[in-house]
Amino acid sequence: MTKEINNQRRKFMQYAGVTATAVATCPSLAQALNMGTSSRPSANFHADVEIELTQEAVKIPIFKGPETRIWKVFGKVLKGSPDTISEIPGSYLGPTLNFQKGQKVRIYLKNNLPAHSILHWHGLHVPSKMDGNPMYAISHGETFVYEFEVLNRAGTYWYHAHTHSVTAKQVYSGLAGLIIVSDEEEKALGLPSGKYDVPIVIQDRNFDSRNQLVYITHMMQRMMGFLGDQIMINGKPDFVLPVEKRSYRLRLLNGSNSRIYKLAWDDGSPVTVIGTDGGLIEKPESMPYVMLAPAERRELWIDFSDKPIGTELTLRSIPFEASSMHGGMMGGMGGGGMMGGRGGMGMMGGGRRGGMGKMMSGNSLPLGGEYSVLKVKIVKNAKSNDSFPKRLTPITPLRLSDSINAGKPRTITLSMRRMSALLNGRSYKMDDIRPDEVIPVNTLQLMAFDNGYSRSMGMMGMPHPMHLHGEQFQIIKREVNSRHRSAHASISEGLVDSGWKDTVLVMPGERVTFLKPFNDFKGMFMYHCHNLEHEDMGMMRDFLIK
């Protein structure tokens, strides 16, 4: 064991109060917490459904010509309804896992990749050991057994690779898929279902002339986050959704590494949101456009019944001011959206030739630019008796007075310096828990993400989609530093802060305050930026719930 690990462990023991016996007998912190890898099913867990997920390196046809090498999750139901998994035919995405609230699920994850890897169930409230923390990564040929009960309410969740320092690359290669949870309460609402309930996974990719995925080639891309010039829907380029003249439920997931979307219908119709990360909100909210940051979900309700057959409708990403740059090496690029807020030209002027200029000029879809995301075509008549839902489901608001730190939010400061991305000035280290990262179990915490609101973040202000593992949270308020107000106004009408969230977009100059419960499970739970390049650059930490 290295001295560093010893030191970390000693520090941890000090803070977390792990017993001296554990220290003496266990080779690592993970094992000290009795959270070693899990390779066998436990006898006292009685699963309602059992599935096997296998990760493989394969080639699939995406374009005409050569097949594309991807990493894909394959699924098989071992016990329970065959509908527990459903495929998106021809997609590089893994199968959709369809769970019922209250179900006990066992998942055998087999890793047949030429690399170590682990899957995380994004948004699900599961025990620490079942959460896919990078410390549980398995190597080629190994199996990890997950066992958990589905505690979450109905909603759209997802799974993806969460492997130390290579999460971005592995998700980019294809290791991701949807999880759809249903429950009785939601079924009783009679929302559009079956083929009228459509998942839409939005991702951006780069392909070379041989149809192969191209990931990051330049250090600056790492700093900003990867941006591809090809929008993929459910793993397909040039996706068109054929619809009938009736209402639909569209479940949007932003599965991109770093791209943020500002989505609007091109015919000027408002966007009607019925759900977010943690399922339905209390009542539909209509807005001119909707923001969708990496890992966020939005469920839309849309009625095509008044549109003539043959009509085409496009959900477009429309311009916004993505970043603010000032001082230091970014000098001269500040102001109106250096990432190309206005038609992509913002980047071209002023940048250092070799660095930003070169990197950005290669991309025809700058962040904050304008481009088409999803095409819909009305193809068929239909008789629909779904009426517009006036109310959805009641949501019990978390109360500030129930938090144990009402006057003193636990604040997580977001910053970027040189080639690192930091949380409270720290970058990720496995098994490294500091005193302010220890949280008593079964408490409600008032928390805040501060992205240069109270203190300037130095040379670069970037949006960070911040995510917490474990139970979902409720947003209390957003505050914007006056220097960033005009940039913020370019996105603010599209934020949906109601309902349950697990990922929240924190814009430059912004502080977001929220209430987060830490119930039921002790152990390590991560918090991190879901710009996956930032995550891999270290913008990730663990909380220890004890």
Total residues contacting ligand C2O by CB under 6 A comes to: 10
d(CA 171, CA 178): 13
Among Cu ion, ligand C2O, none, partner that 125 touches (CB below 5 to 8 angstroms by kind): none
State the nearest-atom distance from the C-beta of 464 to Cu ion, in Å. 3
* Residue 448 found at the interface with ligand C2O (CB under 6 A): no
Q: What is the DSSP letter of 396?
A: P
| Helices and strands of the chain, counted as H and E runs | 9, 32
Among ligand C2O, Cu ion, none, partner that 534 touches (CB below 5 to 8 angstroms by kind): Cu ion
213 — phi, psi (to 5°)? -60, 135
d(CA 409, CA 544): 17
Closer residue to Cu ion in complex, CB, 515/532: 532
* Residue 464 found at the interface with Cu ion (CB under 5 A): yes
State the nearest-atom distance from the C-beta of 162 to Cu ion, in Å. 8
State the nearest-atom distance from the C-beta of 125 to Cu ion, in Å. 10
Among Cu ion, ligand C2O, none, partner that 464 touches (CB below 5 to 8 angstroms by kind): Cu ion
Considering only CA atoms, which of 52, 62, 63 is closest in space to residue 89?
Answer: 62
CB atoms within 10 A of CB 447: 21
Closer residue to ligand C2O in complex, CB, 320/543: 543
Length, in residues, of the chain: 546
Residue with tokens 């991109």: 256
Total residues contacting Cu ion by CB under 5 A comes to: 6
Beta strands across the sheet bearing 104-111: 68-79, 49-60, 104-111, 143-149
| Cβ contact 245:380 at 8 Å | yes
Closer residue to ligand C2O in complex, CB, 511/528: 528
485 — phi, psi (to 5°)? -60, -40
- The residue whose Cβ lies closest to ligand C2O is 122
Question: How much of the chain is helix, strand and coil, in % rounded to 5?
Answer: 15, 40, 45
Considering only CA atoms, which of 304, 252, 310 is closest in space to residue 277?
Answer: 252
State the nearest-atom distance from the C-beta of 443 to Cu ion, in Å. 20
- Interface residue with Cu ion among 297, 484, 534, 541 (CB under 5 A) is 534
State the nearest-atom distance from the C-beta of 234 to ligand C2O, in Å. 18
Closer residue to ligand C2O in complex, CB, 68/133: 133
| Cβ contact 545:441 at 8 Å | yes
Closer residue to ligand C2O in complex, CB, 297/488: 297
* Range 384-403, binding ligand C2O (CB under 6 A): none
* Range 463-482, binding ligand C2O (CB under 6 A): 467, 469
* Residue 125 found at the interface with ligand C2O (CB under 6 A): no
* Range 504-543, binding ligand C2O (CB under 6 A): 526, 528, 530
Among ligand C2O, Cu ion, none, partner that 162 touches (CB below 5 to 8 angstroms by kind): ligand C2O
Residue with tokens 């609402």: 189
The number of CA neighbours under 13 Å toward the Cβ of 76 is 7
**Cα-based distances in Å from 61 to 92, 210, 214, 238, 436:** 9, 12, 16, 14, 49
* Residue 529 found at the interface with Cu ion (CB under 5 A): yes
380 — phi, psi (to 5°)? -155, 145
3-state secondary structure of 455: coil
State the nearest-atom distance from the C-beta of 75 to ligand C2O, in Å. 19
- Interface residue with Cu ion among 487, 531, 542, 544 (CB under 5 A) is 531
Closer residue to Cu ion in complex, CB, 18/291: 291
- Interface residue with ligand C2O among 101, 106, 110, 122 (CB under 6 A) is 122
3-state secondary structure of 135: helix
Binding mask 101-130 for Cu ion (x = CB under 5 A): ---------------------x--------
* Residue 295 found at the interface with ligand C2O (CB under 6 A): yes
Pairing of strands 176-182, 96-100: parallel
State the nearest-atom distance from the C-beta of 543 to ligand C2O, in Å. 12
Q: What is the DSSP letter of 114?
A: S
State the nearest-atom distance from the C-beta of 530 to ligand C2O, in Å. 6
| Secondary structure, 3-state, 169-201 | HHHHHCCEEEEEEECHHHHCCCCCCHHHEEEEE
State the nearest-atom distance from the C-beta of 532 to Cu ion, in Å. 9
* Residue 9 found at the interface with Cu ion (CB under 5 A): no
* Residue 120 found at the interface with ligand C2O (CB under 6 A): yes
152 — phi, psi (to 5°)? -70, 155
Closer residue to Cu ion in complex, CB, 326/534: 534
Burial string for 344-362 (b: 16+ CB within 10 Å, else e) reads bebbeebbeeeebbebbee
Among ligand C2O, Cu ion, none, partner that 526 touches (CB below 5 to 8 angstroms by kind): ligand C2O
Binding residues vs Cu ion (CB under 5 A): 122, 464, 469, 529, 531, 534
In the complex, which residues of this chain contact ligand C2O (CB under 6 A)?
A: 120, 122, 160, 162, 295, 467, 469, 526, 528, 530
